[in-house]
Amino acid sequence: MDKITEQKLVNKNINPTAMRLLVLDFLLSQSAAISLSDIEKGLSPADRITIYRTLKTFEEKGLVHAIDDGTGSPKYALCLDECNPNEHHDMHVHFFCVTCKETFCLPDSKIPGITLPAKFTPQEMNLLVKGVCSNCVN
């Protein structure tokens, strides 16, 4: 663990406990979004409930966002720095590879704006593209 990891927690008003530092460090080392069970395997013998609560705290404070990729298990990825407890700014496309089953954030691919009828108030949007990632094309 380093001071940068700890500072990321402090910047989001999250008390930097040992478990929170471990979970954040693990998330920082990932190239794709990751499920609770995969985090649990990576941090074994850490307690599943503690990891889950840590992820929920991170989500509430704007440090991670959950992605519903259709697998039945949410995946977690780090948020952009602009996210905060009141509003996530992760309005980007997510890509699910049907071959390796990895879910990727594509922050440079923004979700296009949509116009809803006046009686609808959006609270969140998710755009998931399914296909084959560059690692699996070959």
Please give the domain boundaries of the chain with CATH numbers for all domains: 3-131 (1.10.10.10)
Answer yes or no: are the C-beta atoms of 30 and 102 closer than 8 Å.
no
Q: Which residues are annotated as a binding site for Fe cation?
A: 88, 90
The pLDDT of residue 113 is 84
The pLDDT of residue 121 is 87
Spans of the chain below 70 pLDDT: 1, 89
* Strands (E) located in the chain: 34-35, 64-67, 75-78, 92-97, 103-110, 127-131
Q: Which residues are annotated as a binding site for Zn(2+)?
A: 97, 100, 133, 136
Q: How far is CA 7 from CA 1, 25, 78, 86, in A?
A: 11, 12, 15, 20
CA distance 8 to 30: 16
Q: What is the torsion angle, in degrees rounded to the nearest 10, for the CA atoms of residue 66, residue 70, residue 72 and residue 77?
A: -20
Looking up tokens 């593209």 gives 129
Radius of gyration of the chain (CA): 16
Q: Which residues are annotated as a binding site?
A: 88, 90, 97, 100, 133, 136
CA angle centred on 57, ends 72 and 88, rounded to 5°:
75
3-class SS shares of the chain: helix, strand, coil, % to 5:
30, 25, 50
Token digits of residue 138: 């070959």
The pLDDT of residue 1 is 60
